[in-house]
Amino acid sequence: MVISSHYWLINAHIPQGLISPASFDRFTAPNLAQNLTKEGLVCCDLEIKAGKIVAIYESGHAPTRDNYNSILSWDLSWDLKRGIVLPCFVDMHTHLDKGHIWERTPNPDGTFNSALKAVASDRQFTNYEDLYRRMEFGLKSSYAQGTRAIRTHIDCPGDQLETSLKVFKDLQIAWSDRLILQLVCLVNLEEYIGQRGEVLADRMAELGGMLGGVPFINPNLETQLDRLFSLATARNLDLDLHVDENDDPNSQTLKAIAKTALRHNFKGRIVCGHCCSLSVQNQTDVEETLELVKAAGIGIVSLPMCNLYLQDRQALRTPRWRGITLVHEIKQKGIPMAIASDNVRDPFFGFGNHDGLEVFAMAVKIGHLDTPYSDWIRAITTTPAKLMGLDSNYISVGASADLVIFKARYFSELLSRPQCDRHILRNGIAIDTTLPDYAELD
Ligand SMILES: [Zn+2]
């Protein structure tokens, strides 16, 4: 393990789409093809100094090998033997406040409605200490596996709102040197009507959060969306909504959101999560909605593991539908398409481990993101970073050396094992990758 503050990572396989275009131009050699695999992985040497990436070369194409020697001894290099290197993960849609309640509050039949009821009944157990313990367990798990930024939705029932927000704020401060944490309030859109809407929006503005919620098709939808966008505009808040998480082709709130954004000439960022029903709508509706989504500058985040779990679930019947939105069509349209983990070990998803690699691996298999792999790895790294307003998260000269290093050399190797032996660099220094003990939740 390299512990110097100045060293080289050599023979690193990096997906071409994760190297910043500017850095890629700088090091591209005439014989790039020799170093580019069929899967678009480039073999690179990275110079790390004082926590930052200060040079990137194609392997073997540093100005000369003597040049490496002139900088420092080869003893201070770590030969990755073509192991894949990624920037740290960005998990842009989670529910840390619900996480890890499965044992005390399981979902008896795995359906969406039962999940709603179960989560409501779990509130009897929720207090500051319980929330802090479970949410921090999620942060520890995420950090140890290579995540650098997390956005969490937080349930906001009136009697629990301030406790949940205090836990979030305390954790955001306690983890500020390791994780970027973002906050979205999660409510029914009807709650924004009236004084409560002002209170919620003001609290989000004070905490640097954003407005979220779950729009449903109903006679007041347009009024509710107008109110939401007005509250956000007045405070310069971004929006992140749970959208059409069902199999009803008539559930087209995504279209209504896009129309509202255009009508308001909304300047903030908008992210819509799930959008499952898009994949059961007719082609005309899909085309119209995606045109509007693109025009409104909306980004989409798919939650494949949770969708696979909840959608098309009926007792004693085999599911026929994978539940995800039209990830390929959305991406082909030029709309930002991210993936994220969503719920972990709660009534909405009985499994999960806060692992960006697992999310990507599952998404590849559920959504056929492997023929070709193209630049899909951006969906859990650079694309969510952009949608969250962070730095680009490319592997680039000048960027912090926040990297995930695998022994797997190719995508098939990467996505076939859990890669528990990965190394994580944060600011160029290897961190402890031990996962928290489940006993901490007792
Ligand atoms: Zn969610």
Enter the DSSP assignment of 36: B
CA 379 – CA 376 distance, rounded (Å)? 6
Q: How far is the CA of 20 from the centre of ligand 1 (A)?
A: 30
Backbone angles phi, psi at 427, to 5 degrees: 50, 40
Q: How far is the CA of 130 from the centre of ligand 1 (A)?
A: 20
pTM recorded for the entire structure: 0.96
Contacts of 188 (CB under 8 A, 6+ apart): 213, 214, 216
Q: How far is the CA of 395 from the centre of ligand 1 (A)?
A: 28
Q: In terms of DSSP bridges, do strands 41-49 and 52-58 run parallel, antiparallel, or are they unpaired?
A: antiparallel
Contacts of 304 (CB under 8 A, 6+ apart): 322, 323, 324, 339, 359, 362, 363, 366, 367
Q: How far is the CA of 348 from the centre of ligand 1 (A)?
A: 9
Q: Which two tokens stand for residue 296?
A: 């409104």
Element (H, E) at 210: strand 210-213
The per-residue pLDDT for 31 is 57
Residues 360-418: pLDDT tens digits? Answer: 999 999 999 999 999 999 999 999 999 999 999 999 999 999 999 999 999 999 999 99
Q: Which two tokens stand for residue 79?
A: 């030969």
Q: How far is the CA of 423 from the centre of ligand 1 (A)?
A: 29
Q: Whose CA is closest to 165, among 209, 212, 228, 120?
A: 209
Q: Is 45 helix (H, G, I), strand (E, B) or coil?
A: strand
Q: Is 439 helix (H, G, I), strand (E, B) or coil?
A: helix
Q: How far is the CA of 243 from the centre of ligand 1 (A)?
A: 9
Residues 200-227: pLDDT tens digits? Answer: 999 999 999 999 999 999 999 999 999 9
Token match 């939740």: residue? 441
- Peptide bond connecting 372 to the previous residue in cis, omega within 30 degrees of 0: yes
Q: How far is the CA of 285 from the centre of ligand 1 (A)?
A: 24
Catalytic residue among 39, 47, 58, 245: 245
Would you say the C-alpha torsion 1, 72, 146, 34 has a positive or negative sign?
negative
Q: Which two tokens stand for residue 9?
A: 């990572």
The per-residue pLDDT for 52 is 96
What amino acid is encoded at 63 in this protein? Answer: P
The residue ranking higher by pLDDT, 4 or 435, is 435
Q: How far is the CA of 93 from the centre of ligand 1 (A)?
A: 6
The residue ranking higher by pLDDT, 389 or 36, is 389
The per-residue pLDDT for 66 is 53
Query: What average pLDDT does the segment 38-47 reach?
Result: 92
Contact 209, 177 (CB under 8 A): no
What amino acid is encoded at 246 in this protein? Answer: N
Contact 2, 403 (CB under 8 A): no
Q: What percent of the chain has pLDDT over 90?
A: 88
Determine whether 245 is an active site residue.
Answer: yes
The per-residue pLDDT for 26 is 65
Q: How far is the CA of 245 from the centre of ligand 1 (A)?
A: 9
CA 74 – CA 72 distance, rounded (Å)? 7
Cβ contacts of 332-336, under 8 Å, gap ≥ 24: 333/290, 333/293, 333/294, 334/294, 335/290, 335/293, 335/294, 335/298, 335/299, 335/300, 336/299, 336/300, 336/383, 336/386, 336/387
- 3 state SS for 237-302: CCEEEEECCCCCCCCCHHHHHHHHHHHHCCCCCEEEEECHHHHHCCHHHHHHHHHHHHHCCEEEEE
Of the listed ranges 28-32, 41-45, 82-86, 333-337, the least confidently predicted one is 28-32
